[in-house]
Amino acid sequence: MVTFVTNYPNFYSMLKRNWKIAFVVISQLTDLIAIWLGGFIIFSLKWSETIQYITPDQNLLIGITVFTITYLVIASLLGLYRGSFHLSLRLQNLITARTFVVSVLITLAMNSFAHAFINEKSAITIALIFPIMLFLGRYVLKQINLYFQRLGYGVHNSLIVGVDKEAEKLFYRFSTFPELGYKTKGFIVKEKGIDPTVLPQYTQLETDRVIVSNNIDRIFIPSTEFSLNGYSYLKSVSHKTKVKLKIISPHAEDLLKISRIYDIAGITISTPVRSRVKIFKCFLKRTFDIITSSIIILLLAPVFIITIVAIYIESGRPLFFLQRRGAIKSGHEFNFIKFRSMVTDAEQIKQELMDKNESDGALFKMKNDPRVTRIGKIIRKLSIDELPQLFNVLKGDMSLVGPRPLPLTDFENANESEEFWDAIKERGSVKPGMTGLWQISGRSEIKFRDMILLDLYYVENQTLLFDLEILFETIPVVFFGRGAY
């Protein structure tokens, strides 16, 4: 009993620090309760003879159970739970509606293949009651989050560097959208200005004291050039105080409109390492990669054989395309493998086509690339050319989900400063992936810097649940060939 009382404050401290993770569980429980309250209402209506059912009660119970499991899985894959903390009520309701429709269709499909556990009248009643309960649950969940945020749960006390327009814009974003969980405590400036600001100004030399007195755990640097803009001293302060230092690019405004981006898409320059959490995440991710890639290879073995035969008949050998790639400049390199979709001298021809590049930075893209073969156009459209990377995954050079590995020559073509490469080095802290946020957000239509930001957002928010979301969204992207050329 004494031990429990002694550790009680530690429990609240841990809950505050991990509130966003706890909120995922609370969000799932809220939906679970909402669905079964809806089920209770349906059974109450039956008992009062307000509505009549053909099927026995236990069959309807099975139907609600199947719907519940389906809904929780689909909601997870569509990012409802991961986004609950950050998203507005309107956006949560939109994802809830999408999840409900998909779940109903899947449940009805399962119902048609099994013995009917939901009849027509039951289905109509569920379609009327469940959405009301789910939307009500989202409203209650939002109020719970706002209440606990006022108590300091999930809130990051933050400092913003500078007092220019970008800093002001970031401050008002944090103020306007409290669901982001950032509470601005002041501005860090090179020298204090004459005009008073809404919040106090601090010089760099005062940063250590301010971090302690205000319990700061985030410092944001608005930057148009992915640089520290003369505040390099803050990097050493971040390392010493274990405060996360983030660069916020203006590009973040556009990225926030893209699906799966639920927070400010900043670049983390420095972050305190949670070694135990990182080791567990790596183990879980590696185990998932090995099992899943092995299953996919076995299932798609016929596709491998057909593709190999087709490439050989059209243009002979080599059947595969090998290229040295990496996630960051001067980082780990490996042999990236794809089915060959271009003519054998594609790399030499590429130099002659550089002036026709339709992308920017390090990326080379052409919608009607003359180097692509007839078979190549087909396998590229369906992303079949990417399948051999499953062997890269098994070998351990890549993961199923992660930043897109780039050819080493592309790093030179990027023509970026060393400070830029230093700023994005976190991109190399996880293994490159076969798919990622870049692929499900437009693929070839996404510019180089936007791709980098998407990858860095993934690195900071990577979980197995997030990986499943991205894999789920990759299916329609591959099927419809969106953004592929």
Tens of pLDDT, residue by residue over 347-366, are: 777 766 666 666 655 666 66
pLDDT, average across residues 240-264: 75
Mean pLDDT rounded to a whole number for the chain: 82
Over 80: is that where the pLDDT of 443 sits? no
Give the pLDDT confidence score for residue 1 in this predicted structure.
Answer: 43
Assign 3-class secondary structure to the chain. Answer: CHHHHHHHHHHHHHHHHCHHHHHHHHHHHHHHHHHHHHHHHHHHHHHCCCCCCCCCHHHHHHHHHHHHHHHHHHHHHCCHHHHCCCCCHHHHHHHHHHHHHHHHHHHHHHHHHCCCCCCHHHHHHHHHHHHHHHHHHHHHHHHHHHHHHHCCCCCEEEEEECCCHHHHHHHHHHHHCHHHCEEEEEEEECCCCCCCCCCCEEEHHHHHHHHHHCCCCEEEEECCCCCCCCCCHHHHHHHHHCCEEEEECCCHHHHCCCCCCCCCCCEEEECCCCHHHHHHHHHHHHHHHHHHHHHHHHHCHHHHHHHHHHHHHHHCCCCEEEEEEECCCCCCEEEEEEECCECCCHHHHHHHCHHHCCCCCCCCCCCCCCCECHHHHHHHHCCHHHCCHHHHHHHCCCEEECCCCEEHHHHHHCCCCHHHHHHCHHHHHCCCEEECHHHHCCHHHCCHHHHHHHHHHHHHHCCHHHHHHHHHHHHHHHHHCCCCC
Give the pLDDT confidence score for residue 380 in this predicted structure.
Answer: 87
Give the pLDDT confidence score for residue 6 in this predicted structure.
Answer: 45
Tens of pLDDT, residue by residue over 67-108, are: 999 999 999 999 899 888 888 888 899 999 999 999 999 988
Q: What residue spans define the domains of the chain?
A: 2-150, 156-248, 277-480
Give the pLDDT confidence score for residue 73 in this predicted structure.
Answer: 95
Over 50: is that where the pLDDT of 414 sits? yes
Pick 74 or 191 by higher pLDDT: 74
Tens of pLDDT, residue by residue over 210-236, are: 999 999 989 998 877 777 777 778 888
Over 60: is that where the pLDDT of 383 sits? yes
* Percent of the chain surpassing pLDDT 90: 29
Domain 156-248 coded CATH 3.40.50.300: no
Over 90: is that where the pLDDT of 20 sits? no
pLDDT band at 185 (very low <50, low <70, confident <90, very high): very high
Give the pLDDT confidence score for residue 320 in this predicted structure.
Answer: 92
pLDDT, average across residues 29-44: 90
pTM: 0.79
Highest mean pLDDT range out of 143-147, 225-229, 272-276, 359-363? 143-147
